[in-house]
């Protein structure tokens, strides 16, 4: 194809997206669109999968059967979300093995928030309430993104996600209304998860390199700073309602703006964790790689069994 | 890395009797039986289905979107295939 032809195709392509048409896997697309989507969708899938690890830590120690079934169901959903997203990503011509390899080799990123430890039961509450809350704010606009398989996966994910947030907030309500020790535990979890949750919504607009192109392709509908403000405005009253304090001395309602002002975010910490120096980066990757490598004989055995069955059936048919 | 990767399957789910099976997504499994079991866990955790079909992805032949013009445009100018193309006297009801 000549340069001019490609330019022409690109213009038609951008116009389709501007008209709110969806792009499907077999449609022509610019190479950069394909690569950007592989990167974003796979990072999203990896985040769902790695996100199971901090919560898996508490399954055996959930304080009641009710909490245990809810936590198990939530973690199973996250596995499901990872799978929806991996298969959406594979429609772009990348294999599942390549995607796993990118995660395991450290080439692909996942959400940094999962590199923090879950040291008390209250962390299960804080994660559901804050981390899933921030994730929902990020994900809802993606239900209308331009790439069809990603948009469809996000619709399913968002439908399932709101139970996650509610179960987390319910854990916080119970602890906040419990003994003084339980309330302290809830407050401590909020103190530790608040700032990482704000960071989860991404670098400030001034530092975000992908925003403009992503807006055009509807991979992003609102800027990181807008999403962060939305998260703060909706979450602060929920903390107040159950008698917990947001760990930000500068947090103040701004009547004029109709939203909260908040203190500076420690972006050095964010970049440290992104670069692999968070408290649990190594542990998380070790767990993933081990699960993959130690599961290899199971995958091989299942494949060998399937092939044997197929051969047997073919013989019988003769 | 495994010697042989599990193939990809396309999953179709009937959400209730009376409705058709609809494409829900895809997943990897060693064989058809495992694809159905995995589809149960991945796509019907909340009563989304009463029946599942699985088809190995490589067995699907798709039309090429680059040929959409010759494939689908001929239908566009055949307005006489629609009831509104035909003129009726006002007195005729229910037709």
The total number of residues written for chain A in this structure: 318
Residue B32: the pLDDT is 97
Residue B92: the pLDDT is 93
Q: Does residue A236 sit in the same domain as residue A303?
A: no
- Token output for A242: 């159950």
Residue A209: the pLDDT is 74
* Region A61-88 average pLDDT: 97
* Region A22-36 average pLDDT: 95
Do the Cβ atoms of A200 and A227 come closer than 8 Å? Answer: no
Q: What ipTM was reported for this prediction? A: 0.89
Give B7's DSSP letter: P
Band of pLDDT at residue A142, cut at 50, 70 and 90: very high
* Region A77-102 average pLDDT: 97
Q: Given an 8 Å threshold on Cβ–Cβ distance, is B25 in contact with A96?
A: no
Tell the residue number behind the tokens 């789910």, with chain if given: B13
Residue A174: the pLDDT is 97
Name which of A9, A152, A302 to mutate to probe chain B: the one with the most chain B Cβ atoms within 10 A of its Cβ.
A302
Q: Given an 8 Å threshold on Cβ–Cβ distance, is B5 in contact with A90?
A: no
Residues 6+ apart with CB under 8 A from A224: A201, A202, A203, A204, A205, A208, A211
Give A264's DSSP letter: P
Whole-number mean pLDDT of chain B?
A: 94
Helix axes A96-104, A281-294, angle to 10 degrees: 140
Q: Read off the pLDDT of residues A254-272 as tens digits, 9 standing for 90 and up.
A: 999 999 999 999 999 999 9
Q: Does residue A209 sit in the same domain as residue A303?
A: no
Q: Read off the pLDDT of residues A288-316 as tens digits, 9 standing for 90 and up.
A: 999 999 999 999 999 999 999 999 999 99
* Angstrom distance (rounded) from CA A288 to CA B87: 68
* Angstrom distance (rounded) from CA B89 to CA B82: 17
Q: Given an 8 Å threshold on Cβ–Cβ distance, is B26 in contact with A152?
A: no
Residue B79 distance to chain A (closest CA, Å): 24
CATH topology classification for B8-81: Ubiquitin-like (UB roll) (3.10.20)
A259: part of which helix (H) or strand (E)? strand A259-261
Q: Read off the pLDDT of residues B46-80 as tens digits, 9 standing for 90 and up.
A: 999 999 999 999 999 999 999 999 999 999 999 99
Name the domain count of chain A. 2
Residue B89 distance to chain A (closest CA, Å): 40
Q: Does residue A133 sit in the same domain as residue A227?
A: yes
* Region A211-233 average pLDDT: 91
Q: A64, A52, A198: which is closest to A121 by C-alpha?
A: A64
Beta strands in chain A (DSSP E): 252-254, 259-261
Q: From chain B, pick out residues whose CB is under 8 angstroms from the CB of A302.
A: 6, 30-31, 34
Q: From chain B, pick out residues whose CB is under 8 angstroms from the CB of A77.
A: 45
Q: Per-residue pLDDT for A13 more than 70?
A: yes
Q: Does residue A37 sit in the same domain as residue A169?
A: yes
Residue B2: the pLDDT is 47
Q: Per-residue pLDDT for A106 more than 80?
A: yes
Q: Per-residue pLDDT for A210 more than 80?
A: no
Query: Which 13-32 residues of chain B touch chain A by CB within 8 A?
Result: 25-28, 30-31
Residue A250 distance to chain B (closest CA, Å): 43
Helix axes A65-90, A148-176, angle to 10 degrees: 160
Residue B1: the pLDDT is 44
Q: A118, A115, A119, A117: which is closest to A281 by C-alpha?
A: A115
Question: CA end-to-end span of chain B, whole Å?
Answer: 65
CATH number at residue A153: 1.20.1260.10
Q: Given an 8 Å threshold on Cβ–Cβ distance, is A76 in contact with B3?
A: no
Name which of B9, B27, B56, B58 to mutate to probe chain A: the one with the most chain A Cβ atoms within 10 A of its Cβ.
B27
Q: Read off the pLDDT of residues A143-181 as tens digits, 9 standing for 90 and up.
A: 999 999 999 999 999 999 989 999 999 999 999 999 999
- Token output for B38: 């995995």
Q: Given an 8 Å threshold on Cβ–Cβ distance, is A27 in contact with B65?
A: yes
Band of pLDDT at residue A1, cut at 50, 70 and 90: confident
Q: From chain B, pick out residues whose CB is under 8 angstroms from the CB of A82.
A: none
Band of pLDDT at residue A221, cut at 50, 70 and 90: confident
* Angstrom distance (rounded) from CA B12 to CA B48: 11
Give A108's DSSP letter: S
Nearest residue on chain A to B10, alpha-carbon basis: A87
Q: Does residue A103 sit in the same domain as residue A192?
A: yes
Residue A86 distance to chain B (closest CA, Å): 9
Do the Cβ atoms of A253 and A262 come closer than 8 Å? Answer: no
Domain range enclosing A295: 282-317
Q: Per-residue pLDDT for B3 more than 90?
A: no
């Amino acid at each position: 194809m000549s340069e001019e032809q490609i330019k022409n195709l690109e213009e038609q392509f951008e116009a389709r997206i501007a008209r709110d048409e969806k792009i499907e896997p077999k449609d022509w697309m610019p190479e950069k669109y394909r690569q950007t989507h592989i990167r974003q969708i796979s990072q999203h899938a990896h985040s769902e999968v790695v996100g199971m690890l901090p919560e898996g830590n508490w399954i055996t120690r959930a304080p009641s059967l009710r909490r245990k079934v809810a936590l198990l169901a939530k973690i199973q959903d996250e596995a499901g979300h990872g799978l929806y997203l991996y298969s959406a990503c594979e429609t772009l011509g990348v294999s599942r093995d390549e995607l796993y390899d990118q995660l395991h080799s450290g080439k692909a990123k996942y959400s940094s928030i999962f590199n923090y430890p879950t040291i008390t039961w209250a962390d299960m509450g804080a994660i559901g309430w804050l981390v899933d809350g921030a994730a929902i704010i990020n994900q809802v606009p993606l239900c209308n993104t331009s790439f069809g398989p990603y948009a469809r996966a996000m619709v399913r994910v968002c439908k399932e996600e709101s139970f996650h947030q509610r179960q987390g907030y319910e854990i916080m309500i119970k602890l906040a209304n419990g003994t003084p020790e339980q309330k302290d535990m809830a407050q401590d979890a909020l103190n530790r998860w608040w700032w990482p949750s704000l960071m989860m919504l991404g670098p400030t607009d001034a530092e975000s390199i992908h925003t403009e192109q992503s807006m055009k392709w509807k991979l992003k509908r609102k800027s990181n700073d807008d999403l962060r403000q939305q998260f703060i405005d909706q979450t602060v009253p929920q903390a107040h309602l159950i008698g917990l304090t947001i760990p930000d001395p500068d947090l103040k309602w701004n009547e004029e703006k109709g939203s909260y002002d908040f203190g500076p975010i420690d972006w050095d910490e964010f970049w440290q964790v992104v670069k692999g120096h968070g408290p649990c980066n190594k542990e998380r990757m070790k767990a993933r790689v081990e699960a993959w490598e130690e599961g290899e004989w199971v995958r091989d055995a299942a494949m060998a069994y399937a092939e044997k069955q197929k051969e047997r059936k073919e013989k019988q048919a003769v | 890395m495994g010697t042989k990767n599990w193939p990809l399957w396309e999953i179709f789910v009937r959400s209730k009797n009376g409705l058709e099976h609809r494409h829900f997504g895809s997943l990897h499994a060693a064989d058809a039986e495992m694809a159905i079991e995995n589809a149960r866990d991945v796509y019907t955790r909340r009563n989304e289905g009463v029946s599942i079909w699985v088809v190995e992805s490589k067995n699907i032949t798709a039309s090429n979107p680059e040929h959409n013009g010759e494939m689908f445009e001929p239908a566009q100018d055949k307005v006489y295939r629609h009831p509104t193309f035909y003129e009726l006297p006002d007195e005729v009801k229910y037709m």
